[in-house]
Amino acid sequence: MPLFMDVHHKVDGLTAEAVAGAHQRDLEVQSKYGVNYRQYWFDENSGKVFCLVEAPDADTATRVHREAHGLEADELVPVQEGH
Amino acid sequence: MPLFMDVHHKVDGLTAEAVAGAHQRDLEVQSKYGVNYRQYWFDENSGKVFCLVEAPDADTATRVHREAHGLEADELVPVQEGH
C-alpha cells in the first residue's frame, strides 16, 4: 500500500496529550477506509507534527484526519521507506 | 537521547540509490559522534527526504550529515515519538 509522510506545520496549542487523543481518533476511524496511521512525531514548542501513514491514496488519508479530528495536514508527501 | 526529524526540502537528482548511499555514509560517520540515524523516507519526484535521528543535540546531527555527504537538512525539528 502507498506510504505517505504528512506534515502539520503548526497545530495551535499542541500538547502530547492532545496529539495522542487525535491519533487515537485516527485509529478509530481509519479501518473503514483501509488506512493505517502507523506512527507520529511531534514538537510541542513549534506545533509541528509528522504522521507516517499507509493509505490507498492521499485523499483517503486526508479523509481520515478530517473525519477523526478535523486537523488536516499541510503537506502529504508520498514516500518510500529507507532501510 | 534527544530525537529529531530532519527535512530536506529538495535534493536535486534524488534517486533511491543515491539516498541509500548517503544514508550508508551517515552510518559510517555517526558512531564517533554518538549519533544514530534510525530511519529515513524519501520522494524521488519532489526530492524531499525525512530522516529520523537520535543525537546529543541538533548541531551534532548536522555535523554527521555534513561530514558524511555534505547534504545538510533544511529543517531539524526536535520531536517526541508517539505510540
Tens-place pLDDT, residues A18-50: 999 999 999 999 999 999 999 999 999 999 999
Q: Per the structure block, which three cell numbers stand in for B82?
A: 508517539
Closest by CA to A14, choosing from B57, B6, B79, B83, is B79
| A-chain residue closest to B50, CA distance | A5
Which range of residues forms the domain containing residue B46?
A: 3-79
- Confidence (pTM): 0.96
- Write the residue in B16, B19, B43 that is nearest to A77 by C-beta: B43
Q: What is the ipTM of this complex?
A: 0.94
- Write the residue in B40, B45, B82 that is nearest to A41 by C-beta: B82
Which domain CATH number covers A18? 3.30.70.3090
The strand pair at B36-43 and B48-54 is best described as antiparallel
pLDDT at B9 over 90: yes
B78 and chain A: CB distance < 8 Å anywhere?
Answer: yes
Count the domains in chain A: 1
